[in-house]
Amino acid sequence: MPGLYDRLMDEIEDDNDKPAGLTPLEIAELPEPHRTVMFFLLRDKAAASRGVTLDVLEDKLSDIDDMAGVLYDLTKHSWLIMLGEPPAEKYKVNLRRKHGSKTSGIWSALTDHLMEIDDDERSQGTQNTSGSIAPRPDW
C-alpha cells in the first residue's frame, strides 16, 4: 500500500501531464481576432462559467469573418476548451494554473490527512493534551 508521500508525488506528476492553457499575459500576444474572442470569453460571466456556442459568438462579434476558424485554432492550441458534442458544442477559456498552485494541492491533502488522524484520535479517546508527540497506535 503506497504511503502519503507516494500518493502526493503521483498527484504532482499527473498535474504535470495535463495540457497547458493560456495565461492572461499571453492573450495580448495573440493575433487580433483570436485576442478579441479570448477577451470576450473572459469578460462575459456566462461564457466564463458555462461556455458559449459558435452562434452566440458570431452574433456578439459580428466583425470577425471566420469565427469557426478562430475557434478551431484556439481549441487546437489548448487555449479554449470545447464542451459538448457538435452541433451544440460550447467554448470556454482554458487558463493555465498559476506557478505556485502546484504545491497547494499537496498542502491541502496533507492537512486533510492530518485532520483525519486527529479526528480518529478524538473518537478513540487517545488525544494527547500534554503538548508532546504521542506514540502512534498500532494499525
- Give tens-digit pLDDT for 91-118: 998 876 444 444 456 666 777 777 777 6
What number is the average pLDDT over the span 36-51?
Answer: 88
With 0-12 CB in 10 A as exposed, 13-18 as middle and 19+ as buried, what is 111? exposed
Q: What is the pTM of this model?
A: 0.53
- Helices and strands counted in the chain (H then E): 7, 3
Angle formed at CA 25 by CA 23 and CA 28, multiple of 5 degrees: 115
